[in-house]
Copies of this chain bind each other. A is one copy, B any other.
Amino acid sequence: MEYTVQKLGYLAGVSTRTLRYYDEIGLLKPARINSSGYRIYGQAEVDRLQQILFYRELGVSLDGIMDIMAGPSFNNDLALREHREKLLEKRKQLDQLIANVEKTLAHHEGKITMANAEKFEGFKQQLIEDNEQQYGKEIRAKYGDERIDKSNSKLKGMTEEQAKAIEKLGAQVLETLSAAYATGDPAGELAQKTADLHRQWLRFYWDYYTKEAHAGVAQMYVDDERFAAYYDKQQAGGAVFLRDAVLIYTGMAT
């Protein structure tokens, strides 16, 4: 079986540019070049590419991969066994990273759903404790306790800031909507900024934003008089204008 760049690329899930680059640096040369100058790869190159991608996945630089594969002591089987060990180790690290991110997320979630500060005091305390565990020693050593305590109190006050930020965003939407409406151009800069602010505001309520949903909600603002009334409050036609701006913003305008 012979492959052109694109076929091999599709097979291995890499771009044609990548293959060209590998050829350029001498990491993976095609079996032959046909009369029109096309790169033609064979079975040996398929296998070699597989090896290369193994190492690449391990985070080895292409230079390193070249060294490894050029070396005389290159033993496929042994190398693979080592790879497996390294892969397992890497997965462990990745799990650690994920756990960290999730822990951070859990804290944030705690903060967000924390309308009632006292209820989650323990949770917050946990966050502060974790933070101290991570940085506490160094920070206290370097800056002294005073700074730490200040920073801790800042963490506790986060929820209120957040609520205010959301409120502010909502107000900004109305504000820029007014200004944008005055321009009369839903495709204009101000209108698009309004749509963007609206998106930001929405994203607080939705975890996963989609253009379709955004456009759908904008349409709903027009269709549902309760929402329409809200956006039409400052100027008649505000809801329609916002919808048009959002449709353009989301690229859903026909």
* Residues of A that sit less than 8 Å from B by CB: 1, 11-14, 43, 46-47, 50, 53-54, 57-59, 71-78, 80-81, 83-84, 87-88, 90-91, 94-95, 97-98, 100-102, 104-105, 108-109, 111-112, 116-117, 119-120, 123-125, 134-135, 139, 142-143, 147, 150-151, 154, 158, 161-162, 165-166, 168-169, 200, 203-208, 210-213, 215-220, 223-225, 252, 254
B11 and A78 contact, CB distance less than 8 A: no
A235 to chain B minimum Cβ distance, whole angstroms, is 22
Which chain B residue shows the least CB distance to A124? B13
Min CB gap A139→B, angstroms: 8
Q: Which of B46, B100, B120, B216 contacts A213 (CB 8 A)?
A: B216
Q: Could you tell me the distance in whole angstroms from the C-beta of A32 to the nearest C-beta in chain B?
A: 18
List chain B residues, Cβ under 8 A from A104. Answer: 50, 58, 80
Instruction: Among B59, B75, B108, B150, point to the contact of A80 (Cβ < 8 A).
Output: B108
Query: Do B210 and A206 touch across chains, with their CB atoms under 8 A apart?
Result: yes
CB <8 Å contact, A47 and B203? no
* A65 CB, min distance to chain B CBs, angstroms: 13
CB contacts (< 8 Å) of A154 on chain B: these are 208
Given A47-B151, A216-B220, A220-B215, A83 and B101 touching (CB < 8 A)? yes
Given contacts A50-B104, A80-B105, 12 further A-B contacts (CB under 8 A): A1-B143, A11-B116, A13-B125, A47-B119, A58-B101, A72-B161, A73-B108, A74-B162, A78-B207, A91-B94, A216-B217, A216-B219
Q: Is the CB of A101 within 8 A of B116?
A: no
Are B57 and A13 in touch, CB under 8 angstroms?
Answer: no
Q: Are A200 and B71 in contact (CB under 8 A)?
A: yes
Q: Pick the contact of A120 from B12, B88, B207, B220 — CB < 8 Å?
A: B12
* Chain B positions within 8 Å of A78 at CB level: 203, 207
How far is A154 from B241 in the complex, measured between Cα atoms in Å?
30
Instruction: Find chain B residues with CB under 8 A from A162 CB.
Output: 72-74
| Docked pose: A117 CA to B123 CA in angstroms | 46
Residues on B with C-beta less than 8 A from A76 are: 108
| Contact indicator B97/A94 (Cβ below 8 Å) | no
A130 to B191: give the CA distance in the assembly, Å. 41
Q: A154-B208, A206-B206, A216-B217 are in contact. Are A101 and B73 (CB under 8 A)?
A: no
**Least CB separation from A134: chain B residue:** B54
Q: Are A53 and B169 in contact (CB under 8 A)?
A: no
